[in-house]
A and B are shown apart, each in its own frame.
Chain A
Amino acid sequence: MNLGARSMSTVRSDDEAFEDLFTAEYARVVGIANRVLADSHEAEDVAQEVFIDFHRLHSATAQYAPAWLHRAAAHASLNRLRGARRRQKREVAQALEEGERTLDPQKQLEVDEDRRHVRAALGRLAPKPAAALAMRASGLSYAEVAQALGVGIGQVGTLLRRAEAALRKEVTRGTSN
């Protein structure tokens, strides 16, 4: 029975490590997804998926855990952005939220339209620069972006600069079309 007790404590401590990781990183994972999707509910769904995937395959004590989560959050939300399913869900959600708006309806419509344009442009970028932008915009440091993308910290500045220029170009192209 000693064996059983010891094994139970091993399981529990692993669960505790995962809970600690979740507590430490959940807000940032949601933040990255929200930056990409501009939809907090959907961002939370992405965060749930990302943590479940992580828990299935990795140890919460792994050094690479935060970097893996950040990258997964960016990629999973960018995938959603490109997916047809998202467009449908988004339209439904927008219709539902219409009544809750405090902003002038016309103004809100414009803001929504702008956000949609920007997200469409983000979805057209290559995955790496798009992920870099989303992570940086949600507050990750250069070092964290570098770790999540598996690039040297010296490359992050160049990567971001090119990504920013590309996004501006895409947004302009999308608007003029």
Chain B
Amino acid sequence: MVDDPDARAGDDAAHLEGCTECRGRFEGISDDAHSVASLLAVPEAPVEVARAFDRLRSTPASRQRSVLRLPLMRPSSRPVVLAFAAVIAGVALVAGVVARDYSLNYTPNTVTTVPVTVADMQALSQLSNYGDVTWTRQPQLQAATSASDAEALAGMTAPTVSNLPSTISTNITYGAMTQAEAVFTFSAAKAQAAAAAQGKALPALPAGMDGATLTIKVGPAIGEIYGDLQKPAAGSDISQMTLPQLVVVKSSAPSATSTQVTVKQIEDYVLAQPGITPELKAALNAIGDPSTTLLIPIPVQYATSKDVTVQGVKGVALGDNTGVGAGVIWVKNGVVYAVAGSIKQDDAITIANNLK
């Protein structure tokens, strides 16, 4: 009303004509509105949309859609980070290290944990000095307003928790990730330069390694965060959100393919990097059939995982029964599932077993 012509039509307008009291009130309100309108009056801002868009595009931050800004990844939510980061990091590790066939189609159907140290992770991250990573399909993480929105974005059905403990909120925040694809191309020249810059000897490159590619596909995935998450106040940093009580993630199993060299050669090469600990080498070598195993790297100090049976398949449970944090990860029919949160391990396993 007052300054909204649509709100002052029909019966309202007729009533105002005849009722002195209402007209008086209306005039008072109207006076407030006009006075505020003049108080807030400012010269219009000159707007040049094209120039503004160019400015935005030239801002580096505008080109990043970072998965790391997920509330799940907040450092203080340690157990959740463990479970979720494990899935993501596992893909990277697996893709670089695991399978042994030429141009394999790596599709894991089981999971296992691999204890890693900070030194191992640092050594693995140095691999980016040995070639170029190109996203042929960028990972796009999007908040969704409902399960059906998330399903539409990810192109897969959202998991449903059928036995939610009464202590966990039924407020659910959905997220969806479209399938992402990255190609890593080894470059002998880059590797030489990186080694020279650090004064280290470059492990001998296998024949055909220069220009060999490794293609990794991740997702699509759907994430559900249970808990009284504050909606991200517009304009605020999403990392300020409160911690989730429970997170459920469903993702198509990652896949990896290589060209020019066998993935066994890539594995050997990775394991020859300075900085990789003997423990990691031993752990990787102990895996029976790496082409069908999803590796979950667990920091050594948190490696309190155990094998469990979830929905009839082998899974890995992390955490303990204190309720501080626990998670379960398993792979079934080409799909990776994770259930984690500030819950007891037994509860996590029960939720996992009843996930629909």
A: residues with CB less than 8 A from B are 3-4, 7-8, 10-11, 14, 19, 22-23, 26-27, 30-31, 34-35, 38, 40, 43-44, 47-53, 55-59, 62-64, 68, 71-76, 79, 114-115, 118, 122, 133-134, 136-137, 141-142, 157, 160-161, 163-165, 167-168, 171
Contacts and interface: CB of A to CB of B under 8 A. Distances in A.
A42 B349 CA distance: 52
Interface of B: 1-4, 6-7, 29, 32-33, 35-37, 39-47, 49, 52-53, 55-56, 59, 61-62, 64-66, 69, 136-138, 140-143, 145, 153, 178, 181, 232-236, 238
A47 B36 contact: no
A157 B66 CA distance: 39
B47 A72 contact: no
Given A56-B62, A160-B2, 9 more contacts: A10-B137, A14-B140, A30-B47, A30-B52, A48-B55, A48-B56, A68-B234, A72-B235, A141-B4
B140 to A, nearest CB: 7
A7 B136 contact: yes
Nearest to A150: B231
Minimum-distance CB pairs A-B, first 10: A40-B45, A72-B234, A76-B235, A7-B137, A71-B234, A34-B45, A72-B235, A164-B32, A137-B40, A164-B36
A72 B235 CA distance: 5
B42 A38 contact: yes
Contacts of B43: 40
B221 to A, nearest CB: 15
B234 A75 contact: yes
A134 B40 contact: yes
A52 B39 contact: no
24 contacts: A3-B181, A7-B137, A10-B178, A11-B138, A19-B53, A26-B49, A26-B53, A31-B44, A35-B40, A35-B42, A40-B43, A50-B235, A56-B66, A57-B232, A57-B238, A62-B145, A71-B235, A73-B235, A75-B235, A141-B4, A157-B1, A157-B7, A165-B32, A167-B36
A136 B234 CA distance: 17
B181 A48 contact: no
Nearest to A76: B235
A56 B234 contact: no
Nearest to A154: B7
A137 B37 contact: yes
Contacts of A55: 62, 65
A112 B337 CA distance: 59
Contacts of B142: 57-59, 62
A57 B6 contact: no
A45 B44 CA distance: 15
Contacts of A118: 39-40
B7 A64 contact: no
Contacts, number: 135
Contacts of B66: 56
Contacts of A35: 40, 42
A64 B136 contact: no
A48 B2 contact: no
A169 to B, nearest CB: 10
B234 A168 contact: no
Nearest to B238: A57
A98 to B, nearest CB: 16
Contacts of B40: 35, 118, 122, 133-134, 137
Nearest to A28: B47
A161 B2 contact: yes
Contacts of A160: 2, 33
Contacts of A11: 137-138
A142 B6 contact: yes
Contact of B36 (A76, A79, A114, A133): A133
Contacts of A171: 39
A114 B39 CA distance: 8
B176 to A, nearest CB: 9
A24 B56 CA distance: 15
A57 B44 CA distance: 30
B4 A157 contact: yes
B257 to A, nearest CB: 11
B45 A44 contact: yes
A53 B235 contact: yes
B36 A168 contact: yes
A56 B65 contact: yes
Contacts of A74: 234
B30 to A, nearest CB: 10
B35 to A, nearest CB: 6
Given A4-B136, A44-B45, A58-B142, A142 B61 contact: no
